[in-house]
Structure 1
Amino acid sequence: MFEISSIGDAAYLAAVLNAVAMLMGTDNMSQLAGVGFLIGVILVTFQGLVQARAPQYQQMLIALVIYLGMFGPSARVSVEDLYSGAVHRVDNVPLGVAAVGSALSQVGYGVTRLFEQAFSTPAMTDYGFAAPLQILQSVRAGTLSRARLGAANSPTPGADIERSFVNYIAECVLYAVDTGQRSLDSVLRDPSWTGALAVANPMPTTELWLGGAPVVKACDDAWADLSAYTTTEFLPALRSSLAATLAVQAGEVDNAVQTALDAVAGAGVDAQNYLVMSVAASALPKGEAQVWEELGRWETAATIIQAAQQRNTQWAAEETLFARIVRPMMTFFEAFLFAVSPLMVFAVGLGTIGIRMIGKYLLFGLWIQLWQPILAVINLYIILTTQGKLDALRNAGMGNLELPSIFALWKLDFILSDYLGVGGMLAASTPAISLMLIYGSAVTATHLAGRLQGGDHINEKIASPDAVNPAAALSMGSLKTHAPLTGTTTPNANSVLWSADVGRSMQDSVRSGEQAVQQASSRFSSSLAGTASASASRSGESFASRSMNWDYGATGSATDRAIMSEARGFTDKYESSGVSTQQMAGIIAGAVAAKGRTGAGQAALAGDIGTQLRSQYNVSEQVADTMATDIARRVSGDSGFEARLAESIRADSQSGSRNVFAERLSSEESARLEKDAADVVSSSRSLEREQSLARRYGAMGTYGAAEIGNAISNDPELMDRLHREIDRRNLTGDHQQLSGSWAYARNLNRDAASAAAGVALLIGHADGTTLRRFTPAEAQSAKEAGYGILADTFGTHAPSINPHGNDDLRESAPRFGAARGAVENGDVRDPRGDVAGLRGDIEAHGHSVETRYRPNAADNFHAANRESAGERLAARQDQVREQVRERIGAEIDRRAILPRPAAQAVHNEVGGTFVKLADTGALASAGATAALGQTVAAAKAFGSTLASGGDVSAAVAAGREAAGGEAGWTQARGAMIDARLQQFAGHGLTDSQQTLFREATNSVFAFAPSAAQRAARQAVIDEAGGGARGQHVADLVERSAVSRDDSDLRLIGTYNTQGIGLKKRLKD
């Protein structure tokens, strides 16, 4: 039995040998050999005739002996996989094939084993090509994120190892670095995970997810739990996760990693330590990003997160080098050597020529078997070079980095990527190297040299751009451009034509409609109040008396019915008040008249209604206030109620019905009231249509005239629809004039100009005056038609598109030459005579246009309206500022009503704040130069006592003792307050707010707020305009004095700055 050591895939090779055995067992191969020997005899005979000597039939005899020896007897072959150890047995393999294959494989495999023993490197035949580097890189890639950790991220239910490490590093390790307790260099350079991550500070806390519900613990306790959980639960789960990646059993993961570390880094680097430090090195950038997010540095956090995600994506896309390049190549060519062996049956029969071919066949096998020894040499180079790089990292001059410190792991990532890439290139060059050794071909050597030549993959201008990039003296643009969206247009045509910003136009229309409704409502309310007063006075009574005594159910007017309907709703809602429907109707009518008569706001109106409810109907104060607010909101803030009331007033005026507001009116008064009511109804309906348009088309984008014209002109159905809409609205003349001017200017072709001009007329974007003027209702209808055409043109669903519309295009296309024949046979005449006199007309037309339209008209208009435009811009800016200020004020109100933290939490927060002031040197920067040591000691003593659970008196006593007496304590207290103020300098606080912050901070050292703090608080409230808003601003300032979070102060500062522009305008 012959043994073949497979350097590729043993199963694949066994399948090929089985196929060879099957072929050699058939009569077809004997016939193929016969054909070969027949051709060989003919060749020998012909050669003898040509050379004038007896034919050399002994050559054929030698070939027959070789054939019978190689392909006559058969043998059993055992194919062994060098990587997995699997053995496959194949029977009836030709003896020559089995012997040659066994000999060549033993030569290649044996030489490779001798090389590995001589090189003293991890056996490539046992572990694979560049195995140490691949194992270390696989460990790093397998710990990059929770996705790569897989089940190892949650060894027990509810656990989240990555989140726990990120929280601990962000809130404990990096906190210690920020406060100066540790240096970042010590964290990055410590080769032990227990030394790099351990924090013994009990002050900060962090949240851990180690199974079950998350827990918040002090950093020293958190480290004890996290380290114990990592050793007992996480490491076994991590080994199981990496076992599949490394293709070993879970119990062999440590041995595989340790072997790889010993090969590239030498003895002394623990595999278990390497595994945990890989996780920590991946969690550190995420913890840093979390810190930046908490500080509001979103751009820095996003940069760190994006870099980590890109690295993760790159490593996830990389496959194993050996599986990607070397192993498939060896598998194919090794099997190919045996697969072509049946062809040698034919070649042997050719005699001398065939014997030479068999020699080349054996050289082909030797070429393949040389790959393994060459790869062993490449493997030695990669491992030794990596060892040299890691040894250089340990040198004092190169960084003094020890594996597996975090800094060294980051360096190792680059080393592994670089030399695995080099190994891949050399492995791909192995066939060329072995071929050059066997044949000594100059072509092969040239090809190999080309593979080893580096390419220019660096764009040096990214880091060092050109100081000056000269351009041509004159750059000529094209006369026309063509693009899929715009069609054929003049370059930059959209710059001089209109564009339809549909979403913005919708918003502007809705805002304009809202303003129109407000103006019409104001006029109607004033007119209604005046009419009501005049009508009541003619009857010798006040309107208040009339509204309460009016019989709303007897008149049958639409207005009285509308008021009674609202009254029933309020009566049912506030049944407990005891107010009847008739009384409620009187209250509502009186509120409507009072609103129009005095112009009172909602709050003032609610106050008057509440007083009336309490005094006249004995309604309790709480119910009266609620009812009054609800009625005032309906009367003054509900546009739907006002529109219904206006519609009722107009109907009564047209029918002559009397109502509570209108009785004994003159025709002039009735006409004026009817007109104001009609304006409210019209503007309300117009607003409803604008809002409907905004809901339907408000999400559309911005489209230029060129895009609109090209898209519609290429769709005959849309073009016909556009023309129908133009004709229906009598816009044909305006359409021809506008489209002709655009086509005349050669910005668009005629069809595109016609389509764009039609849409512009419909949606109100036509430049200049038009002959046809729309009423508001007609303009609204035209807009709906125009936006409907745009929606169908650029919408995602176009029902008019027929994918089979051009199926008959080939049949319907005209034949070549048909056009020429039609022209030659037609009655074609020269049109030049008809247009010979048009040049003068054109020049006269141009002169008349120049005379009619004055060139300086635009300049005069600009000069006359520049000042008013500036005032409108400033007013708009003030309005936007006021809106922003109101939104920020609402956020201040929301934060102020949140529950205050518990007293112990406040003490911990304040204590930690003063301890941090002492640790970071802020006291020195605040001017505490004299007796700085006593000041720092007093701050630490005061803060530590509060943080450990002591009350204010105990903390003050501790601070006074550390300061050496009352005088030192007074000086230390002032320095701490100054340091706190310096922390929040530049936040935009006003002088009175800073004074309140100082007094509130000073009150931390006392048992109750001082008189100075109360005075400063009142000043802040008065400055903010009093009321609840002033109270809330003062609350947030005082709350910030006992907190390390400055977000409330930043919010107040932004609130202050938004009012500066408006105040300046009022002052001017």
Structure 2
Amino acid sequence: MFEIFSVGDSAYLQAVLNAIAMISGTGDYRTAAAVGGLIGVIIVMLRALLQWDGRGIRYQDLLLAYVLWLMLYAPSVRVSIEDAYTGSVVVVDNVPLGPAVVGSVMSNMGYRTTRLFEQGFGTPSMTGNGFADSLQTLTAVRKNLLSRINLGAANVPNAGSDMETSFANYVRECTLTGVDLNQKSVDAILRDADPLNAIRFDSDIYMTQIYVGGQPQTKTCTDAWADLSVVANGNFATALEGLLQPTLAVPAAGDTVPKIQDAFDALAGPGVVDAADYMLMSAILPMFEKGVIGRHEDGLHWNKAAMVEQAIQQRNTQWAAEQTLFAKIVRPMMAFIEGLSYAIAPIMAFVVMLGNVGIRMNIGYFSMLLWIQLWMPILAVINLFIQMSAAGKMAALTTATYNLPSMMGIYQLDMELQQWLSIGGMLAASTPAITLMLIYRGAVTATHFLGRMDGGDYVNEKIATPDVISPAPVLNAQAQHQYSPLSAVTQTGVDKVLPTFTAGKDMSLAVSSAYSASEQATRSFMHSVSSTAMKSASISSDAFDSRSLGNQIASSSSYTDAYNRQFGEAFAKKHADTGISADQFSALVAGSANAGAKLGSDQLSGVISGRLQNDFKVSQDKSDAIAADISQTVNDSQGYQAGLAKSLAMDAQTGTRNVASMGLQNQSLSSLQHSAADAVSASESYQQTLSAQQRFGTQASFGSAETGNKIAHDPGLMERLDRTLDQYGLRGDTQRLASQWKAAGWISDADQAYAAAGMSLLTGFSSPSYRTLDDQQSHQAQISGYQLLGDAFNAPQADQTWDASRNESLKANVPETGKVQALVEQAHLNDPHAETEPLNQRAQAQIGSATGKISGGEARVEAHHDRNLAEREQNSREGFGQLANVKAEHFRKSIAAAANETPSVAEASFDYLGGGLYNSAKNLEAVGSVSNQHIREFAEFVQQGQAKGMSIWDSIKYASNQSYSGFKDASEVWADQRVNEVADRLTPGQQAYYRAAMFEAFAGIAVAGEYGGTLGIARSQLIEEEGSVEGNDIAKLLKSAAGQGRMDLIDQIGNYNRARGRINY
């Protein structure tokens, strides 16, 4: 009896071999062989006739074919089939000898070679456990504990218990409460390897409801955790073992945890990960995620809850869709091809009788059996690769402190398991190509295998680097319906056909009209002011005589003069650096107002700038800025001009005799009163309209779909809408219009369509068919509709009192022409002028008395004001003086410290000095300065020295010996340039010493001594100016700066000079 190891499906192979035995036992089997032999004879004879060399008939081919048939296909033997995975054995009789012998030899070779590979590799047995068994085991645990549906009866280990709800409640109400109170961190929870300790939160205040048996129990977080721990480590763990037993294919439930432990030991090392904790954490993790969702829902974070729930469902769907890798890819393929190889044995019995051709085909047939048996050794090698790679990743997870089996560790492990299982699937599917390449040495199979290794382009590079331009299709079909949180489900493009409700659109038109009217009124008024002022003053000269007008404005009691004084004070504060007083600025403003109506804006600015430069000696840039400021102010029709009209109207009403700033007398004011009244009236009208614009200045548009969705989901707004529609009899039209919109598919929800249709009818966009509204009712319905819209979106609401037709009835009450005059004449009214004459005298007396009191009060106020200004100036000067002394003392100490720390001038950088001198000489040569010939000679000698290998300093000394006049001229210009660079930071005496020190620095030390020559004279003057101590310190810094080019020392001296007020900021 021959033994065949089945690497596919032993039952399938048994059925195939039974069929072969049945076929080989019939006469048809021999008849087919005889037919094959006849065809073989014909083929041999035809080949002998067609051979060109006349070798004759090859009788040996027919003989060998017949002998092979008698040896391989005529005899039959008993075969035992042993399943390579389960070890079960079945027996089949009457199997042809050839397939039985070859299959037995090949299968024993392949199976036993695989067992030897597995012993050598030291990995979990693939023949005994399956392909990638460790990874499959861990994956099976996670897949079968994902949800309540997977848990099944294990979720109820005790009568009345519900482990998923209990853990979810505890996480939501205890664990995450601890996170919110900063008593637990999310990172600590996710990295804790103990599944129960990870979610633990001890508290005697916060409570939760658990289901551990019997009735639901509400307990504190501390007590609830204790009860959950007892059940989780007891009956729940036992129930999980029973649940996983059939999935892991272990004999008993007690073997479940050892099976998982073996997988972890193979991947991570013995005892590194606890299998029982992994099983319990895999069950608790989905419950923890459900608790997180509940916490978001409790906090009304619906978007976050939906996001987490969607992620969990997508992951569960993905894991549920995946089958066992070995059962999905490798074993079905091996079972089919293995059965096919034996199933074609009767055909091979026919083919072998064809002679030489049949013999070659039978050799290929037996090679096919060898090909199949090579799969198991190759899979053993692939299994070793996957096992070691996954073990390396597991070690990396442990090194990265993911603390398996913590929640974070399981999340990372899930990704690694999926990755290496997918890699294993690809390699297992490539096993037939690998072995085929070995058997047949075919380039096609090698190309196929390399193609399997190409991962394809899975990265969408357009996410980070989008196309600059993308072509569009000829026809782009959009979705029929669309959904958004505000508009719900609507038909695409419905916003183009449904109405849109807008708040605040009509009010902006009134502002534009009022502004135009006000601008015209003020322009006419300013022309009147200018024309009247022309009679008494010249615009180009007297109106701007600020020095003569200043005192008049200061002593005037006119409203207009006081109004101009306000602007003068504002300009005086803004441009305080000019020294122009507030009264003088007031005169400039008033003169500009007089001239503004006759001159253009640019001409007016030019006149003001000229006056400022001539009268107050202000620079041109500053005078232009002040002129532009004043011109802009006086030309503001809604600001300055409106206020000027009010003040002139008040002066005219109170009988002011003289307006100094405008050059107007009492009689001139009376002629301006009418124009001023018009301008004031226009200004007040504009201000009233401006107030309305501020109320409705922000516009918002609300689509019908969004408005209908908002109202339909608010019972209060929906009830108000119904009442309003009943009030105006529009409910029937609303239902009709809503049915039309819903039937057209514009809005899917019936209540949403009803609310949108009702708003469309109330606001007047859609016309009713069953009810006709008059103008008054239509207006009131619109106001009600927009009030409802405002309440729905907190938008501006219309005032119910607004009614454009309110005074329409007045046209019927217009009096007849002449009727009022007749009634007045019949009343016999008396002329009251004689009775009111004494009142005028008493009023004038009161005015005179009040004027005297006001003048005296103004004088006292001005005196106090001047005294306060003088005190403020005195305090400011004293404060700034003290601050300057503090700063000067600070910089004096800084200079002393630097002078003591600064190296001597002997350390001067001669190359720096020589390079600067040489650059100055080249610049003078380039621009053609005085003594150009000498300087050119000096520069050429410097270049000669450098060409000879001298340093820049030695080249300078060489050139000075050759052309002393050029050296002298270049030195003078160079020193002047350097002094000019620091002139804004040094006093004249310091500049003189700095210049002298630069010449002395050429020798490295003072040529004539510290107190001799030009340097000595400059030093004496510096000490006389600064004092002995400060003068010596400053001299040291200046000499170091001259020899070393240290501008930081110059900056220190400059800061000291600014603090003392010796130079300007």
Give the TM-score normalised by structure 1: 0.48
Give the TM-score normalised by structure 2: 0.48
In our comparison, the structure showing a higher alpha carbon Rg is 2
